[in-house]
Amino acid sequence: MGKIFDWIDSRFGVKEPHRRFLQRSLPPGVNYSYCLGGAAFTLFAISAVTGILLSIYYVPSETEAYMSIIRINEDVRLGWLVRSTHKWSANLLIVFIILHALRVFVSGAYRPPRELNWIVGVFTLISAMASGFTGYLLPWDQKAYWATVVGTSMAATVPFIGERLLYLLRGGPEVDGTTLIRFYSAHVLILPIMMSIILWAHFHMVKKQGISGGM
């Protein structure tokens, strides 16, 4: 590569390990369905970038949230595009995680020594669903509000600790501004950090164990 890159890489040393990873030979039987996980990761990356952009205009407050969404859609240059891209990449992320899981299941790639990576993969799905659930409240319209009333009410049906779990999720007995802010915090900080750590572990194991052969 270029002189500048080589200057950096001779000190930073990122080329050699990646060459080993990117140019390794693949087992026979690998086909395009093995790209589903990569597609899911791409969608996660798109959600992350568009999400960071949205956070510049979104206001996580009871009185401002809805109007800030309207502003993003109507006033902000390309705001509609950023918001739609965030919405669609988030929806497709769930779809592609499930398709990827189906591929892993069908090709038997969850078998030893890759059981732990299957378990970690389940955590990615859970994090993605939690991100979807918390993100759904943020527009703070009727659909968002009632979806969260219904969704959090399910926690109350857990035996013994249900009510406390409900208060923990909602930040009080009702869905209100407190709920909005804690969902926002989970959506933009807690869950993305969790997701990044989980994905790092997922890819680390792919790298260590290699791709399992085709069927």
Q: How far is the CB of 141 from other proteins (least distance, A)?
A: 15
- Scanning 33-41, 112-120, 148-156, 192-200 for contacts with other proteins by CB under 8 A, the matching segment is 148-156
Q: How far is the CB of 171 from other proteins (least distance, A)?
A: 5
Helices (H) and strands (E) in the chain, counts: 10, 0
Region of residue 109 (left: phi > 0; alpha: psi -120 to 50; beta: else): alpha
Contact residue for other proteins among 132, 162, 171, 214 (CB under 8 A)? 171
- The torsion angle over the Cα atoms of residues 20, 23, 25 and 26, rounded to 10 degrees, is 110
Lay out the site mask for other proteins across 66-105 (x = CB under 8 A, - = otherwise).
----------------------------------------
Q: How far is CA 14 from CA 11, 19, 87, 88, 201, in A?
A: 9, 9, 34, 33, 19
Owner of token pair 């406390």? 164
- Scanning 21-29, 65-73, 92-100, 171-179 for contacts with other proteins by CB under 8 A, the matching segment is 171-179
- Answer yes or no whether residue 123 interacts with other proteins by CB under 8 A: no
Q: How far is the CB of 125 from other proteins (least distance, A)?
A: 23
Q: Are 150 and 139 in contact (CB under 8 A)?
A: no
- Answer yes or no whether residue 146 interacts with other proteins by CB under 8 A: yes
- Answer yes or no whether residue 110 interacts with other proteins by CB under 8 A: no
Q: Are 179 and 171 in contact (CB under 8 A)?
A: yes
Size of the chain in residues: 215
Residues that bind other proteins (CB under 8 A): 62, 146, 149-150, 153-154, 164, 167-168, 170-173, 176, 178, 182
